Amino acid sequence: MGIHAEEGHADSLPPVDLLWTGGWDSSFRLLQLLLQHRREVVPHYLLDPTRASTNAELEAMQRIRSALFEKHPHTRVLLKPLSKFDIAGLAADAAITDAFRQLVAERFIGNQYDWLARFRKQLGIAELELAAGHRGGRIQGIIGALVVQTWNNGHVSYRIDPRYSDTKEFSVFGGFSFPLFELDKQETGDIAVEQGWLDILRMTWFCHKPGNGNEPCGYCNPCLYAVDEGFGWRIPRRNRIKGAFYRVLVKPIKAPAKAVIQQWGAGRRALLR
């Protein structure tokens, strides 16, 4: 599946605000914007000092930046410095957080989506791209029935239809654009091979619990998702085996327990109101 650069007018368009984590999806989108569309990109990263993978993610982004500047010198001008925002500086937003908790009660999504929604609103970024919404992913499972195709930042993208502005889904995800909505994970890999990007995308990071030597652990949620999406080759074999045992023996017990704790917390908060 191929994609083609925009014709002519990239210089007249504003920089693209992109959430970049150093992971596969957001880095794939970064390469699309820089190498195919020749767009200026302002990358944003939410800094959580308590997250075990923070340093690995920052190091991955620096590796990718250095490789891009060496192999594609024009990106030195297009790729702006990483804009880092500490989550400790996020303002509370009851509407967003309540909507997020309602979504979590229905299916698991990471806490970062509460943070990201508050971050976008607090900084007033009107067109913020979130690459996590690829076809077959968890986010698409939540908002897939609500989105419409749009023209965002000079490119086709997807957003939640404003007709659903009174929904919990819109409260959390309504401020984002999802440029990879029509691609599944394997298709991004096929495009990376076709475009010669695989060497750079191999530098990306995804594991939340890196072990010795910064190896993917094999059993955190992103590692399990990587296996499900056909990207298990990115995890050392011994850690894939650990992940297989975790999936069968631990996760079936852990998920219901976590759901009970979340429901208890939601009930307690309701009583305190």
Instruction: Decide: 139 and 132 in contact? Cβ < 8 Å.
Output: yes
Whether residue 132 is predicted with pLDDT greater than 50 in this model: the reply is yes
Torsion of CA 26, 115, 50, 89, to 10 degrees: 120
For tokens 């790729």, name the residue. 79
141 shares a domain with 28: yes
Q: How many CA atoms lie within 13 A of 14 on its CB side?
A: 9
Lowest-pLDDT range of 35-49, 50-64, 145-159, 251-265: 251-265
130 shares a domain with 240: no
Amino acid present at 189:
G
Among residues 124, 153, 186, the one where a domain terminates is 186
Where is mean pLDDT largest: 191-195, 245-249, 264-268? 191-195
Q: Is residue 197 part of a domain?
A: no
Termini Cα distance of the chain: 52
How confident is the model at residue 11, as a pLDDT?
A: 67
How confident is the model at residue 260, as a pLDDT?
A: 47
Q: Is residue 196 part of a domain?
A: no
Q: Is 2 exposed, middle or buried (0-12, 13-18, 19+ CB in 10 A)?
A: exposed
Confidence of residue 261 (pLDDT cuts 50, 70, 90): very low
172 shares a domain with 68: yes
- State pLDDT tens for residues 71-114: 999 999 999 999 999 999 999 999 999 999 999 999 888 899 99
Residue 148 β-bridge partners: 159
212 shares a domain with 92: no
Residue 188 to residue 176: CA distance in whole angstroms: 20
Q: Is residue 192 part of a domain?
A: no
Q: Is residue 40 part of a domain?
A: yes
Residue 79 to residue 64: CA distance in whole angstroms: 11
211 shares a domain with 158: no
Instruction: Output the CA–CA distances (angstroms, integers) from residue 39 to 7, 48, 273, in the order listed.
Output: 12, 28, 47
Can you say how many angstroms the Cα of residue 120 is from the centroid of all Cα atoms in its chain? 14
145 shares a domain with 17: yes
pLDDT exceeding 70 applies to what percent of the chain? Answer: 87
178 shares a domain with 52: yes
3-class SS at 208? Answer: coil
Torsion of CA 33, 216, 84, 44, to 10 degrees: 20
113 shares a domain with 36: yes
Residue 184 to residue 73: CA distance in whole angstroms: 30
Q: Is residue 94 part of a domain?
A: yes
Residue 230's domain comprises 206-272
- Selection from 197, 250, 247, 196 nearest residue 226 by Cα: 247
Q: Is residue 5 part of a domain?
A: no
How confident is the model at residue 255, as a pLDDT?
A: 56
Among residues 132, 158, 186, the one where a domain terminates is 186
Residue 135 β-bridge partners: 184
Overall number of domains in the chain: 2
Backbone angles phi, psi at 130, to 5 degrees: -125, 115
